[in-house]
A = this chain, B = another copy of it.
Amino acid sequence: MARPRSAEKQRAILSAAVRTVASQGLGAATAVIAKEAGVSNGSLFTYFGSKADLLNRLYVELKTEMAAAALDGLPAEGDLRERLCHLWVRWLRWATTCPEKRRTLAQLDVSDEITPASRQTARQMMAGIARLLEQSRSNGPLREAPLEFVVALMSALADITIDFMLRDPVHADQHRQAGFEALWRMVA
């Protein structure tokens, strides 16, 4: 029950930030984000201590949402390949469904405003994904590599695949499959 109005505004700001950053880049002015959120520019700073703070929270939020989307409905058991494919499909579906979120996330990922702590938190959100990957690669050629390395690989692969899906929607399905084949061959 603690400040329900606040939670709403906070969400509005984050959501406005997604849209604004997607279209204007990380240089987007806080005042613009605030206006897009229907909130005064001063208010933005009562919800987020600074622009960097907003960006960090947005980063964690988006990573979390992405991971949740990818893991949604993942069967606890069953064939590894199938489970990984399930994850792959969900991941890409989320990204292609909200291209603005994805675009913003891509910008945040390379920003030096994002603190190590935020990156760490984000990694934890991806733990479920990492776990499945851990199993998948356990007998594969990357079984000795750091797990993080494999996660990073999968993320990059997903990113590129999404790029091509968005750029060439007619062959989206083929791109998704090609991406998955590449992934599977790499890890398993």
Contacts and interface: CB of A to CB of B under 8 A. Distances in A.
Interface string A149-187: 100110011011101100010000011001001100110
A6 to B, nearest CB: 18
A141 interface: yes
A160 B149 contact: yes
Interface in A85-112: 106-107, 110-112
Given A178-B149, A186-B182, A159 B156 contact: yes
A77 interface: no
Contacts of A40: 2
Interface residue SS majority, chain A: helix
A141 B185 CA distance: 9
Given A110-B110, A178-B145, A160 B164 contact: no
Copies of this chain, tallied across the complex: 4
Nearest to A182: B186
A79 interface: no
Interface residues of A, number: 34
A142 B181 contact: yes
A181 B145 CA distance: 11
23 contacts: A2-B40, A2-B42, A25-B111, A25-B112, A106-B110, A107-B110, A110-B110, A141-B178, A141-B185, A142-B178, A145-B174, A145-B175, A146-B164, A148-B164, A149-B160, A149-B164, A149-B175, A149-B178, A153-B156, A153-B160, A156-B156, A156-B157, A156-B160
Interface of A: 2, 25, 27, 40, 42, 106-107, 110-112, 141-142, 144-146, 148-149, 152-153, 156-157, 159-161, 163-164, 168, 174-175, 178, 181-182, 185-186
